Amino acid sequence: MCSQPPKEHHVDMFPYFEAAALLAPESATIGISGGEPTLFKAQLFAFLKSVLDKRPDLSFHILTNGQHFEEGDRPATAGLDQTRIVWGVPLYSHDPAIHDQVVGKPGAQKRLLENLAFLCRVGAAIELRTVLMQPNAPGLPQLARFITVMLPFIRTWAVMQTENIGYGRMNWKALFYDSSEGFEVVGRAVDFVRSRGVDARLYNFPLCTVPEAYRHLAPATISDWKRAYRAECEGCSLKAECGGFFEWHPREHGYSKLGAVQ
Ligand code: SF4
């Protein structure tokens, strides 16, 4: 379901990143969404070190598949102010077969767990991310249990709705999970981790698809430039707090229960 699949051509933008980051507004959080930034670890670590040293007000949120860390990265990561970096790392299932199938790489979950432990050892803040899909939705409560036992050191568990673009669009019928109908597994999983002291969040969920008791866990996470509302949203009392939809979310394959909340 990757929303940004590989392109045929790559232009290395690293020489421009530092100049751009140093021009960021005061106290900004800069998101690095990839491709996979740790394929360029030397450049990435040097860039982070330089910007974090020169701009003590800035922080970073970095999306990574968590496949490429190794013990030899310890000096470079130890040299970074980890209090100003959050690493967003995907884990799709407690079942290695499902996780590996989603990411298309045999052995990926095993490697990921080793590297999450590495990130923990270097004091990194981890936002574990699980995109909700038909293949992994039924196992969400088991994943919740797995997280509390194996990964209690994470900062946040984010359960995310799918984006209909890139591979997500190509595989939409097989992937999209209508959480407006089947919220029960999501609610049970979120309740479980929270009962064990792990923070949980719901990203990219239209608020009217989420039961009221869970809406405070669902911030408006869809970027403003790709956010859209529908005719049903007119007059909705939740619109100011609701992140709405990805602009390209298809009407015919979307949520079955949806509508303005008075
Ligand atoms: S009707 Fe629209 S604005 Fe209201 S909660 Fe649903 S998606 Fe959000």
Tokens of 150: 């194996």
Find the 99 Cα to ligand 1 centroid distance in Å: 31
Give residue 261's pLDDT: 79
Domain residues for 200?
28-253
Residue of 81, 149, 82, 74 whose CA lies nearest to 115: 74
Give residue 260's pLDDT: 76
Site to substitute for ligand 1 among 234, 236, 247, 255, most atoms within 8 A of C-beta = 236
191 domain residue, yes or no: yes
Q: How far apart are CA 213 and CA 217, in angstroms?
A: 9
172 domain residue, yes or no: yes
6 domain residue, yes or no: no
Give residue 253's pLDDT: 66
Residue of 147, 162, 74, 72 whose CA lies nearest to 112: 147
154 domain residue, yes or no: yes
| Cβ within 8 Å of residue 163, ≥6 positions away | 1, 3, 204, 246, 248
16 domain residue, yes or no: no
| Cβ within 8 Å of residue 174, ≥6 positions away | 134, 135
Number of domains in the chain: 1
Site to substitute for ligand 1 among 161, 238, 255, 257, most atoms within 8 A of C-beta = 238
120 domain residue, yes or no: yes
Q: How far apart are CA 20 and CA 212, in angstroms?
A: 41
Q: How far apart are CA 243 and CA 221, in angstroms?
A: 6
Q: Which atom of ligand 1 is nearest to the CA of 229?
A: 2
66 domain residue, yes or no: yes
What percentage of the chain's residues is helix, strand, coil (to nearest 5)?
Answer: 45, 15, 45
CATH number, domain of 232, equals 3.20.20.70
Residue stretches of the chain with pLDDT short of 70:
252-253
Give residue 259's pLDDT: 76
Phi, psi of 229 (to 5 degrees): -120, 170
Q: How far apart are CA 94 and CA 50, in angstroms?
A: 37
137 domain residue, yes or no: yes
